Amino acid sequence: MLKIALESLGCSKNLVDAEIMMGILNKKGYKLTGDFEDADVILVNTCGFIESAKQESIDTIIEFANLKETGNLKLLIVTGCLAQRYSDELKEEIPEIDAIVGTGSYQNIDEILEGLQKEKQIVSLNDIEVVYNENLPRYVSTPEYMAYLKISEGCDKHCTYCIIPKLRGKQKSRKLEDIVAEAKSLVQNGVKELVVIAQDSTMYGSDIYGEARLPQLLEELAKIEGAKWIRIMYSYPESITKELVDVIKRNDNICSYFDMPIQHASNKILKLMNRQTTKEELLSKINMIRSAIPDATLRTTLITGFPGEDEKDFEELVEFVKKVKFDKLGVFPYSREEGTAADKLPNHLEQEVKEERRDVIMMIQQSISEEINQSKIGKTYEVLIEEQIEDNVYIGRTQYDAEEIDSIVYVKSHTTLDPGEFVDVKINTALEYDLMGDIQDELTK
């Protein structure tokens, strides 16, 4: 039987698609391997969101294509957003690709692989409005103590810089009971942290129930025995309601973590981005969250150098960042993407200006982060251990940090700790972004 290796790029939502493909192939009897040199088949699940992600995807495809000469590779399959967006270009420019599978076709990966026994260069671009098939198996590839829980696909927002609706279609929510059933299954298999994901988590259910039902979904997930942490990602600020905040406040196993990408703070730029909010509304929402949950972590992402962003708009964004003091913040220079409304806007800025503005905000945030971390010295936090890096030193994170995105805690312990174990850690050192501390129990001995 063929040996299959997977490389999944881009976001966690893309990773879940990849895990379903691997689940389908695993059920069909194919052998899954992490050794790309030895693999007969390599799947590259690509991202096509912004220019840097596209380039990473292309570089990865070319790197693996070379294994047809130097390794055991017989079939190279490209899936995901880049495949959906640039199927013709990929087919023409990288002839080593044997199949191109769009975002509406990944559920048919077994049939496509079987078809490659008879023909080459299959291109499968099915309807992107296909509804999630609840009966498909999933091969979870994340550490056994955490898993992503995709609650919907697609997006009904039309931010002018974003290509996602064209690649993933309209919002398609899963039924609440199906999500809860999958969550229970994951927890029964050892998962302690459920990370709720969607293109727009806060609008979950609005397409099938006539109203957003994220609060109701979270209430049901919180009841699952063994679900230690439930984390919500991709919460659009305009859809964060008092009801949602109250549910998070009421349930100890729902992380007080708000991942709310605001993108900008100038009303002029927010309007050009077609964001459904204003600076004043953003401040009101942030104040509402912090009033209800004083220790809540607020995470956001920003875009610098959007078309038409002048010095006044940028200064307004800088002042907003200084005033709000987000706990976590990422900044991306605007990426011009063909097929988006923003591409046609006037007054595009030079790349150098976009990057300079990004760097200015990141330096401000570095100081804010260090100040916030300094305030944590002497406090004790529950830390999820993820790996050992040297004798008596481990890496972990608190409920206020998402995996592979946010900060880490260096934990010193004289006893052996296992990945997935929760320990109380007293912080003794604050770095710019990360923390260091000792096991609380050992300090009292």
Q: Can you say which residues are annotated as belonging to the binding site for [4Fe-4S] cluster?
A: 11, 47, 81, 155, 159, 162
Q: Residue 2: is it exposed, middle or buried by C-beta count within 10 angstroms (0-12/13-18/19+)? A: middle
Contact assessment for residue 418 and residue 387, using Cβ atoms and an 8 Å cutoff: no
* Residue (of 273, 272, 371, 262) closest to 317 by Cα position: 262
How many Å apart are CA 187 and CA 191, to the nearest integer?
Answer: 4
Specify the 3-state DSSP secondary structure of 276.
coil
* Residue (of 271, 213, 265, 268) closest to 244 by Cα position: 213
- Known binding residues are 11, 47, 81, 155, 159, 162
How many Å apart are CA 64 and CA 62, to the nearest integer?
Answer: 5
Residue corresponding to tokens 């964060």: 240
Which pair of structure tokens corresponds to residue 283?
A: 């401040």
Beta bridge partners of 77: 43, 99
How many Å apart are CA 211 and CA 204, to the nearest integer?
Answer: 8
Instruction: Write the single-letter amino acid at 171.
Output: Q
Rg over CA atoms, the chain: 23
Instruction: Write the single-letter amino acid at 13.
Output: K
How many Å apart are CA 159 and CA 271, to the nearest integer?
Answer: 10
How many Å apart are CA 414 and CA 207, to the nearest integer?
Answer: 52
How many Å apart are CA 105 and CA 112, to the nearest integer?
Answer: 9
How many Å apart are CA 198 and CA 13, to the nearest integer?
Answer: 7
